[in-house]
Every structure is written in structure tokens, then in C-alpha cells.
């Protein structure tokens, strides 16, 4: 069977990467809009309603506008923007989130693709909340370092100018107003009752992302050990093809002395780590911000929704 797929926003970073994933798929017919009609509402609406699956790779306002154009009840929307990630009636497109999430994605016609920082944070924290090891009321902080591709075409152009201006040669923390757009989904899909203190950092490499969540053992359920934390992650993701829970205090990483932020690049994989001392824990989660953090996650959700092999086109 051939499925018709349309990418609204096909020229953006996420849209282009989705096209790359779909290029070799024999079960997909990609519907494309002519360059001179990309902003034509009537043509966009026609293609959106002709598609079995439509990806929205647009700014938030434009995604809401596109969603309103759909009158075909059979069109499944997968929105890569922030617009619908905590909106009732939309399913969060993270199949590994919890038991039953795949079934929800399979049944839904409105799927909100997770944010890149949020995916890494949620995948590290949600299992501990579900296992009762991390209280919902816990005050949690997180730092995320990411490649500049996550900022889209304008930031890519900024970082690829030659010579590179001195301020861009060093990592740049941002989101300093503590109102990052991913915070609502980071709360909603971990079960935390308060937003984490979250500091994202962009640096002068193209792609790759790692989130670090430091915890005092005293913040966890009384008596919790690092071994129990690592075991909770391993149990939550048992059998998951795209989630690799590393051994406690991963020996290879400790031997090198440095964490490789880019080790999941060009994959749809997430690596999860627990480093620990006698009193403290450091959860770490890494992924390709353009892969499992954006386009790869969207294609994975499409595969789940269509009932085809989940890894099709992703490995």
C-alpha cells in the first residue's frame, strides 16, 4: 500500500530532513507544492487534505492556521512546532513515553512532535516519576547543550559565516528569562508539578544534543540507590529499539573523562546515562537534535500511526 505524505514547510531544516528520510521509501508518495505556491492557502489546503499524513514544519501561528485548513477526517497531522504539545485532543508523539502511548499515536489524527530538549529531558526523568523514585513535587534543574542547527536557517547562516565572530566561538547560554518554550511539555509529560530550572546552551557544532539533570540522592524516595535509578530506566525502556540505557557509571565515558555530545548523530537513538557518587546523581540523555529530536521522531510517529515497521526509513 502507498501512503500520500505532504510536508508543509518543506524548505525548513526539519522539513528537508523528513524528505531525506522518505526519499527511499517505496510505500510513500510525497506530495510537493510548487515553489511559487508555497504561500498560497488554497494550494496548501488542497495538499493537506489530499494527504494520509501531513507534517507541519512551520512556526506556531502558521501550524495553527494549517490545522484549521483540514476538513478531511482521514488526514493525520504531525505538527513539529510548539503549538499543540500540551493541547487537549493532540497526542504527544513520543512512542516510548509510557505504556499505551503507541496505541494512542496509532489511533490519533493529531500528533504533536516533541521538542528536542524536551525529548531528552522527558526520557530521562519520566521513568523515575513513574517508578515513584522522584517525587512529583521535586525541584529539578537541567542543562542542555545543543548544536546550532536547532535554531533553523537563520542561526545556521549565522554560525556558518567565515570567519566566525568571536562571540559565536564559545558556548552561549540562552533562555535566561526562564520561560523556555519547551517547559510546558517538560512538565506535562514527566508528571512534575513545577517547571524545572532549565538552561539551554547553543554551541558552534552543527548537531547533537545532551541534557544533564543533577539530583541529590536526598531528593529521591528515601533509601533510593543509584543502582535502583539505573534499573528503573532499564526496566522502563526494555525492548525499545531506539533507547539505549547505559550501565551505571558508564565505564567507557568515565575512562575518557569527557562526554561526547555528538555520539548519537545521524541516528534515531537516545542514549541514557546515570553517573553517581555516594550522595549525588547525574542523569544524562543524548540524541541527534535533527533526528530523534525532530525529524526522526516525526517519521517514527508516522510509522506507528500507519501501522508499518516503526524503524522503517530510520535505520
pLDDT digits (tens, 9 = 90+) for 219-232: 999 999 999 999 99
| pLDDT recorded at residue 291 | 96
Q: What is the pLDDT of residues 194-222, one digit of tens each?
A: 999 999 999 999 999 999 999 999 999 99
Strands 197-203 and 172-173: antiparallel
Residue 148 clears pLDDT 90, i.e. is over it = yes
Listed residue (197, 210, 201) closest to 170, CA to CA? 201
Q: What is the pLDDT of residues 10-33, one digit of tens each?
A: 888 999 999 999 998 999 999 999
Could you tell me if residue 311 is inside a domain?
no
Mean pLDDT of 46-52: 97
Measure the CA dihedral 195/199/204/205, to 10°. Answer: -40
Q: In this structure, what are the phi and psi dihedrals at residue 180, rounded to the nearest 5 degrees?
A: -55, 145
Could you tell me if residue 128 is inside a domain?
yes
Confidence of residue 37 (pLDDT cuts 50, 70, 90): confident
- Overall number of domains in the chain: 2
Same domain, yes or no, for 62 and 72? yes
Same domain, yes or no, for 104 and 125? no
| pLDDT recorded at residue 205 | 97
Same domain, yes or no, for 63 and 198? no
Q: What is the pLDDT of residues 154-189, one digit of tens each?
A: 999 999 999 999 999 999 999 999 999 999 999 999
Could you tell me if residue 33 is inside a domain?
yes
Taking CA atoms, 18 is separated from 48, 68, 151, 223, in Å, by: 16, 22, 17, 45
Give the CATH number, domain containing residue 207. 3.30.360.10
Same domain, yes or no, for 186 and 250? yes
Give the CATH number, domain containing residue 49. 3.40.50.720
116 is catalytic: yes
Could you tell me if residue 61 is inside a domain?
yes
Same domain, yes or no, for 155 and 101? no
User: For all residues of the chain together, what is the average pLDDT?
Assistant: 96
Could you tell me if residue 312 is inside a domain?
no
Hey, CA dihedral for 218, 222, 227, 232, is it positive or negative? negative
Residue 274 domain boundaries: 116-289
Same domain, yes or no, for 159 and 262? yes
Could you tell me if residue 241 is inside a domain?
yes
Same domain, yes or no, for 45 and 184? no
Same domain, yes or no, for 104 and 129? no
Confidence of residue 286 (pLDDT cuts 50, 70, 90): very high
Residue 269 clears pLDDT 90, i.e. is over it = yes
Residue 273 clears pLDDT 90, i.e. is over it = yes
Same domain, yes or no, for 108 and 228? no
All residues at 6 or more sequence positions from 251 whose CB lies less than 8 Å from its CB, including other chains: none
**Catalytic site residue from 57, 76, 116, 264:** 116
pTM: 0.96
Same domain, yes or no, for 278 and 130? yes
Q: What gap in Å lies between CA 48 and CA 76, rounded to an integer?
A: 9
Residue 285 clears pLDDT 90, i.e. is over it = yes
Could you tell me if residue 29 is inside a domain?
yes
Residue 298 clears pLDDT 90, i.e. is over it = yes
Mean pLDDT of 286-312: 97
Residue 35 clears pLDDT 90, i.e. is over it = no
Residue 1 clears pLDDT 90, i.e. is over it = no
Confidence of residue 39 (pLDDT cuts 50, 70, 90): confident
Same domain, yes or no, for 44 and 57? yes
Distance of CA 52 to the CA centre of its chain: 23
Could you tell me if residue 273 is inside a domain?
yes
Same domain, yes or no, for 98 and 172? no
Amino acid at each position: 500500500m502507498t501512503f500520500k505524505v505532504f510536508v508543509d514547510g518543506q524548505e525548513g531544516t526539519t522539513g528537508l530532513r523528513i524528505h531525506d528520510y522518505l526519499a527511499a521509501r517505496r510505500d510513500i508518495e510525497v506530495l510537493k507544492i510548487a515553489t511559487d505556491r508555497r504561500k498560497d492557502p488554497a494550494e496548501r489546503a488542497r495538499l493537506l487534505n489530499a494527504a494520509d499524513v501531513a507534517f507541519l514544519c512551520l512556526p506556531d501561528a502558521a501550524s495553527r492556521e494549517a490545522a484549521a485548513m483540514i476538513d478531511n477526517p482521514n488526514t493525520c497531522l504531525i505538527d513539529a512546532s510548539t503549538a499543540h504539545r500540551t493541547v487537549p485532543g493532540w497526542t504527544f508523539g513520543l512512542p516510548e513515553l509510557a505504556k499505551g502511548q503507541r496505541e494512542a499515536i496509532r489511533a490519533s489524527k493529531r500528533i504533536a512532535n516533541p521538542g528536542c530538549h524536551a525529548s531528552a529531558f522527558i526520557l530521562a526523568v519520566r521513568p523515575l516519576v513513574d517508578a515513584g523514585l522522584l517525587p512529583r513535587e521535586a525541584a529539578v534543574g537541567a542543562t542542555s547543550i545543543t548544536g546550532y542547527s536547532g535554531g533553523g536557517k537563520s542561526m545556521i547562516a549565522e554560525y556558518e559565516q567565515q570567519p566566525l565572530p568571536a562571540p559565536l566561538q564559545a558556548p552561549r547560554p540562552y533562555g535566561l528569562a526562564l520561560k523556555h518554550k519547551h517547559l510546558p511539555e517538560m512538565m506535562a509529560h514527566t508528571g512534575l508539578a513545577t517547571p524545572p530550572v532549565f538552561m539551554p546552551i547553543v554551541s558552534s557544532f552543527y548537531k547533537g544534543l545532551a541534557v544533564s539533570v543533577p539530583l541529590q540522592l536526598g531528593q529521591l524516595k528515601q533509601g533510593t540507590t543509584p543502582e535502583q535509578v539505573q534499573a528503573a530506566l532499564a526496566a522502563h525502556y526494555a525492548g525499545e529499539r531506539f533507547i539505549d540505557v547505559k550501565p551505571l557509571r558508564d565505564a567507557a565515558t568515565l575512562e575518557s573523562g569527557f562526554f561526547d555530545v555528538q555520539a548519537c548523530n545521524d541516528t534515531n537513538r537516545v542514549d541514557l546515562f546515570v553517573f553517581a557518587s555516594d550522595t549525588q546523581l547525574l542523569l544524562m540523555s543524548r540524541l541527534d537534535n535533527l533526528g530523534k529530536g525532530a525529524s526522526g521522531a516525526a517519521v517514527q510517529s508516522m510509522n506507528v500511526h500507519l501501522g508499518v515497521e516503526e524503524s522503517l526509513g530510520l535505520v
